[in-house]
Structure 1
């Protein structure tokens, strides 16, 4: 092949290479454009209902507002300084921590026990599975109304049974010593359906050959559950722990319906403090500062759980 032919051939190959690269780049660009097109509705929803409120909250947290929510004056970090110096802030934080400790472990343990009970192949288990998963179908307001009737000081079912046992009636939602416990019991029941369904699904995802091998090796049902099944179930338990802590720190509906933060602030959790500060006292700047503090607390707790607790998780 002559030099001229080689040059022509090389030029053709170079042109083909450039055209191929441009076509490949155009194909990648079309794929990215199609991906962003499908993501566009979700991005719009996130922008409207998540990103914009977050930016607006940050902006308002550095300002004082009038009762109509209009910015009145720039105050810098004064809203945060007043929060950390307020006894109401620390009370709501303490109540939220107590509420979390009362509801999260109890809810997971209850769901685990119910899932272990109905995972057996006895007759009638399908009926119990339906009953135990029923709370997931009820809204917060419906659950709160049901428990409000149960907790009624004179006509409530719980005090009726206490009277039959010869015990004095309990002021479930009026006594500061019982109010947070009462809300926690109702919350554990309300979340039990979701916890139960996830934990039962996790147990059903563990192969029968593992149980058969443990039974052949002489392992009893209790030992098999705690030493074999529970470690295999740890990813589900970890997920439930993270979600339950998030839900506990964001609880509002049942507290607003049953106690409205009372009596004497004994059930005033963090989110209710935000609601009261912003929509009762019309202090939107302070309410926004509270919301940002809650966001940072939840972010820190989630990071701690993924950083330290996840090490105990056994993935198959």
Structure 2
């Protein structure tokens, strides 16, 4: 092809690209518009139920409110300084940390034990899988009512069994030294279904050829589980740990039904303090400040877990 022909061909291609560019841009714009149209319902829901309450909480945290909940005065950071100077704030933070330490490790270990017992295909395993998964189908209120009957000081089954063993009855929900432990036991049971299903799915996702290879090499069941299967299950355990910590810091329903934060504030977790401040005392400014502090704590704990704990996770 001669130089003249090349120049003419290049001119034609340039002209075609100029002509087609507006049409291309219109096509791309239509694709983007269609994408945002499909996302619009979700964005509206997020805006109404997530972003608006968040911005409203930030706004209210800098104000005082009257008994009707209306904004009365701008106080700046006074709500936050009063919170950090309040013994009730530090008590609720301490109780929440204790509750998290009592429920998260025990819940994951219990789910891991049940999953390890039932992930193999044996006769009758399906029945046990169904039984161990049942708590996930119960609501917080239903679970709380069941355990309230079990914890009853005179007619509860737990004290009945203790009496048969010759032990004195325990005031499960009335004694300050037992109240948080009792709520934690109920929470571990309530979350056991979700933990079990997730960990069982993780174990079943590990190829059978890995277990067969370990068996051929002479590895026993305990060694195979702890040295081979558990490291391969670490991504599931890590995800479950992050979710469980967030859920523990946001627990409210079972505490409200079983103890209402008592006795003597021994079960008053962070979210229950927010509820009392905002919807009992009608101090929406202080309640919003508490909510923002809780958000910051959960964000910090999640960042710490991803920054340091994730290094121990073994991805295949």
Scaled by the length of structure 1, the TM-score of the pair is 0.97
Deviations 1:69-93 (A, max 9, x none): 1110000000000000000000000
Q: Secondary structure of 2:171's partner?
A: coil
Q: Residue 134 of structure 1: CA displacement?
A: 0.2
- The equivalent residue for 2:120 is 120
Deviations 1:157-196 (A, max 9, x none): 0000000000000000000000000000000000000000
Q: Tell me whether 1:175 sits opposite 2:170 in the alignment.
A: no
Q: Secondary structure of 1:73's partner?
A: strand
- The equivalent residue for 1:242 is 242
CA distance in 2, matches of 1:207, 1:187: 32
Residues 246-265 of structure 1 aligned to structure 2 (within 5 Å): 246-265=246-265
CA distance in 2, matches of 1:295, 1:4: 69
CA RMSD of aligned residues (A): 1.6
- The equivalent residue for 2:138 is 138
CA distance in 2, matches of 1:26, 1:94: 58
CA distance in 1, matches of 2:277, 2:68: 14
The structure-2 alpha-carbon separation of the partners of 1:298 and 1:5, relative to structure 1 and needing over 3 Å to count, comes to: same
Q: Residue 18 of structure 1: CA displacement?
A: 1.4
- The equivalent residue for 1:155 is 155
- The equivalent residue for 2:103 is 103
Deviations 1:219-242 (A, max 9, x none): 110000000000000010000000
Q: Residue 14 of structure 1: CA displacement?
A: 2.0
Q: Residue 2 of structure 1: CA displacement?
A: 11
Instruction: Give the unaligned 5+ runs of structure 2.
Output: none
- The equivalent residue for 1:296 is 296
Instruction: Give the unaligned 5+ runs of structure 1.
Output: none
- The equivalent residue for 1:79 is 79
CA distance in 1, matches of 2:237, 2:179: 28
Q: Residue 10 of structure 1: CA displacement?
A: 4.8
Q: Secondary structure of 2:72's partner?
A: strand
Q: Residue 292 of structure 1: CA displacement?
A: 0.2
Q: Residue 120 of structure 1: CA displacement?
A: 2.4
CA distance in 2, matches of 1:155, 1:238: 40
Q: Tell me whether 1:15 sits opposite 2:19 in the alignment.
A: no
CA distance in 2, matches of 1:110, 1:71: 47
- The equivalent residue for 2:185 is 185
Runs of 4+, deviation exceeding 3 Å: 1-12
Deviations 1:250-289 (A, max 9, x none): 0000000000000000000000000000000000000000
Q: Residue 3 of structure 1: CA displacement?
A: 10
CA distance in 1, matches of 2:304, 2:181: 26
CA distance in 2, matches of 1:126, 1:5: 76
CA distance in 2, matches of 1:192, 1:2: 78
Q: Residue 15 of structure 1: CA displacement?
A: 1.9
Q: Secondary structure of 2:264's partner?
A: coil
Name whichever of 5-14 and 239-248 sits farther off. 5-14
Query: How many residues get paired?
Result: 316
